[in-house]
A and B are shown apart, each in its own frame.
Chain A
Amino acid sequence: MANSALPVADATTPADNIVTRLRSWYLRSEAVRGFSLLSPTMLLMLLMLAMPLGVLFTLSFWEQEYLDFIKTFSLKNYTAFFEKRIYSKILIKSIGISSMVTLATVLLAYPMAYFIAFRVKRNKLVWLILITVPFWTSYLLRVFAWKIMLGYNGVINSGLKGLGLISEPLEFLLYNPTSVVITLAHAWAAFAILPIYVSLEKIDRSLLEAARDLGENAFMTFLRVTLPLSMPGVIAASLLVFIPTVGDYVTPALVGGPTGIMIGNIIQSMFGKAQNWPLGAALSVISMLTVTLLVCLFLWLSHIFKKHIA
């Protein structure tokens, strides 16, 4: 297409000359071609990401008055966060729940990923598909499945009752932080296995043999070679689980009960029943900053850990 347009350069009008020059400049400059290919995506990110986040930040300094906003700068929403202990308590609890979920998910996933990477010789793909099949049904239904499992008249209670092991349903199974942790650890399992598996699979097998030849036993080989080399996968898995679960409100709403409430539920209610968008925006900003800080801290610590062990 470009080639067929080139003979036009022979025409002598100045307008054509400019077009030709622009065209050859465009074709020659890699940066310009690259940026023009990137421009639709960058436009999307600008309009749908940067601008909304900026507006969210601005709104967090406004106030709600009935259905209208008072558009003057005010720190009221932020002082409310620090004065009313309930918000900070729930944020801390959410971070605690998400940390437990992350820890449980990664610890449970690691041996499984290790098994597929090192023990399965053929049909690795079959195992990977087996791992991901349960995650192809709707997220909501995966969470709801745990309500069926743990509920007052749920699978576990009605099953145990049927077997004559209990006479009254166990009430501690559902509607508490533990049920939230179990449900989330299940719902995000595949997100932990896959990155860990990829990083284990990438490890050069001759390094492991070298460690063994140099006299390390299997456990020390794992600790000093396999584990440090798989850290990128562990870190990716931790972030992939931690970041979305902090803001989740589906799981706490379905299986959390009053004690299992998380910050996402509070933020959501500010945009629903409570109808206080600026406060909701401020809570979002605070949560996002807290999560970002924690993630940076985590990355820094894992960097130190990696240096220390290597």
Chain B
Amino acid sequence: MAYAARRRFDGFTIYAVAYLVFIYLPVLFLPLFSFNSSRYIAFPLKEFTLQWYEEMLNNPSLIEALLNSVKIGVAVAIASTLMGTLAAKAVTRYRIPGRGPLIGVIMVPLVIPEIIMGIALLIVLNLGGIDLSLVTVALGHMLLCVPFSMLVMISRMEGFDKNMEEAARDLGENSWGAFWRVTFPLVLPGIVASLLLTFTISFDEFILAFFLSSTDVTLPVFIWSSLRFPRKIPAILALGATILVVSFVVVTFAEWFRRRGVHVKTDTGV
């Protein structure tokens, strides 16, 4: 197997590199042109400049949209991780009738085109006389994030042994102590992964936010409205490059944390 692999290494490696070029090339033009002094996005490049980053930071509506997205993202991440964790515990710990169909229902938002969920929610809010606001956007995001959180938490909770919690109870911990000192440390990596995943989903979500927001907009809705004006595009490219770098740092940290969790788990298992 090993030498056969080495023999055919070349073809696959070339393909893999070509594939990476395909997925990276368009995205890397965002940071490239964000440092270009021309307002027009075309070759040849003019001079190096940081003016678009300055413009980005000096745009109050951009900063406001960013803060709105962060607020919604944090609230949605916490609320949906809480719900996802409870739901995951329910289906992994307790024998409940109709387990499969129940999980199926919770996963439905993942298989409905977002535009349909967006308009369905818009209709209900409209008929119910509820004004659109950041709260309605957050509620829409919850619908998308709870299933993801539940999936993450189910895969985390299925891994560890129910008996450990019972052992802690037998050794004299009360149920709170057993949870706090046994269950919580074991599921913590899942909770962190879920918080980051749901924050990312909410932060990048456009379609639901587009239908469910009014005058207070989220960052993707702000980006969407700016893309129509060529004048505003360089600052948006600067923003895109910044998001790319920040999420690289965050995801690397998250992955490191998750890995650490996996190692801790195998250590205790052995």
**Least CB separation from A149: chain B residue:** B26
Given A56-B119, A264-B115, A284-B119, are A45 and B105 also a contact pair (CB < 8 Å)? yes
Report which residue of A112, A158, A209 has the largest number of chain B beta carbons within 10 angstroms of its beta carbon.
Answer: A112
Establish whether residues A284 and B116, one from each chain, have CB atoms under 8 Å apart when the complex forms: yes
Q: Which of B20, B87, B109, B243 contacts A136 (CB 8 A)?
A: B243
Within 8 A of A (CB), among B90-141: 90-91, 93-97, 102, 105-106, 108-109, 111-117, 119-124, 127, 139-140
Please indicate the chain B residues that have their CB under 8 angstroms from the CB of A146 in the complex. 26
Asked if B124 and A271 sit within 8 Å, CB to CB, the answer is no
Per-position contact with B for A245-274: 1 when CB-CB < 8 Å, else 0?
A: 011111000100000000010011001000
Instruction: Say if the beta carbon of B264 comes within 8 Å of chain A.
Output: no
Bound together, the chains give a CA A33 to CA B91 distance in angstroms of 10
B255 touches A52 (CB 8 A): no
With contact pairs A137-B30, A145-B30, A281-B123 given, residues A250 and B206 touching in the complex (Cβ less than 8 Å): yes
Is A108 within 8 A of B244, CB to CB?
A: no
CA distance A140 to B222 in the complex (A): 11
Checking A125, A137, A148, A267 against B33 with a beta-carbon cut-off of 8 angstroms, the contacting residue is A148
Q: A56 to B116, Cβ gap below 8 A?
A: yes
B4 within 8 Å of A by Cβ? yes
Chain B, 212-230, CB within 8 A of any chain A CB: 219-220, 223-224, 227
Known: A55-B127, A115-B12, A140-B220. A35 touches B111 (CB 8 A): no
Which residues of chain A are near B113, meaning CB under 8 Å?
243-244, 246-248, 264, 287-288, 291
Contact, CB under 8 Å: B42 / A1: no
Chain A: CB-nearest residue to B146: A41
B174 contacts chain A at the CB level, 8 A cutoff? yes
Query: Which residues of chain A are near B108, meaning CB under 8 Å?
Result: 45, 49
Whether the pair A136, B175 counts as a contact (CB closer than 8 A) is no
Query: Does A280 make an interface contact (CB < 8 A)?
Result: yes
CB-CB under 8 A for A34 and B90, given A137-B243, A149-B29? yes
A94-134, CB under 8 A of B: which get 1 and which 0? Answer: 00000000000000100110111011000001010111111
A65 to chain B, nearest CB (A): 16
Considering the complex, give the chain B residue whose CB is closest to the CB of A50. B105
Question: Is A225 in contact with chain B by the CB < 8 A criterion?
Answer: no
Please give me the residue from chain B that is nearest to A33 by CB atom: B94
For B154, list chain A residues within 8 Å (CB): none
- Partner of A155 from the list B29, B95, B240 (CB cut-off 8 Å) is B29
How many A residues touch B, CB cutoff 8 Å? Answer: 88
Contacting residues of chain B (1-29) with chain A, CB-CB under 8 angstroms: 1, 4-5, 9, 12-13, 15-16, 19-20, 22-27, 29
Partner pick for B89 among A37, A116, A142, CB 8 A cutoff: A37
Interface 9-mer from B50-58, B184-192, B245-253: B245-253
Q: Nearest CB to that of A59 among chain B residues? A: B123
Please determine whether A136 and B174 come into contact, CB atoms closer than 8 angstroms.
no
A11: Cβ under 8 A from any B Cβ? no
The answer for the CA separation of A30 and B96 in the assembled complex, in Å, is: 7
Known: A44-B143, A140-B227. A118 touches B123 (CB 8 A): no
Q: Which of chain A's residues have a CB closer than 8 A to the CB of B158? A: none
A49 near B143 (CB under 8 angstroms)?
yes
Q: Let me know if A247 and B115 touch, CB within 8 A.
A: yes
- What residues on B are CB-neighbors of A239 within 8 Å? 111
Question: Do residues B259 and A134 form an inter-chain contact, with CB atoms below 8 A?
Answer: no
A37-B86 contact given A49-B108, A137-B244, A139-B220, CB 8 Å threshold = yes
Given A45-B108, A153-B40, residue A35 in contact with residue B26 (CB < 8 A): no
A165 on the B face (CB < 8 A): no
Give the distance to chain B from A48, nearest Cβ to Cβ, in Å: 5
- CB–CB B23/A129 < 8 A: no
* Cα-based distance from A4 to B106 in the complex (angstroms): 35
Give CA–CA (A153, B38) in the complex, Å.
13
Are B123 and A277 in contact, CB atoms less than 8 angstroms apart?
Answer: yes
Minimal beta-carbon separation of A133 from chain B (angstroms): 6
Contact A137 B115 (CB under 8 A): no
Asked if B84 CB lies within 8 Å of chain A CBs, one says: yes
| Nearest-Cβ distance from residue B52 to partner chain A, whole angstroms | 14
* A interface residues with partner B (beta carbon < 8 Å): 1-4, 30-31, 33-35, 37-38, 40-42, 44-45, 48-49, 51-53, 55-56, 59, 108, 111-112, 114-116, 118-119, 125, 127, 129-134, 136-142, 144-146, 148-149, 151, 153-155, 157-159, 162, 186, 189-190, 205, 208-209, 218, 239, 243-244, 246-250, 254, 264, 267-268, 271, 277, 280-281, 284, 287-288, 291, 295
Q: A44-B142, A149-B29, A250-B206 are in contact. List 14 more A-B contacts (CB 8 A).
A: A33-B90, A37-B89, A41-B106, A52-B124, A133-B244, A136-B251, A145-B26, A158-B43, A189-B23, A244-B113, A267-B119, A271-B211, A284-B116, A284-B120
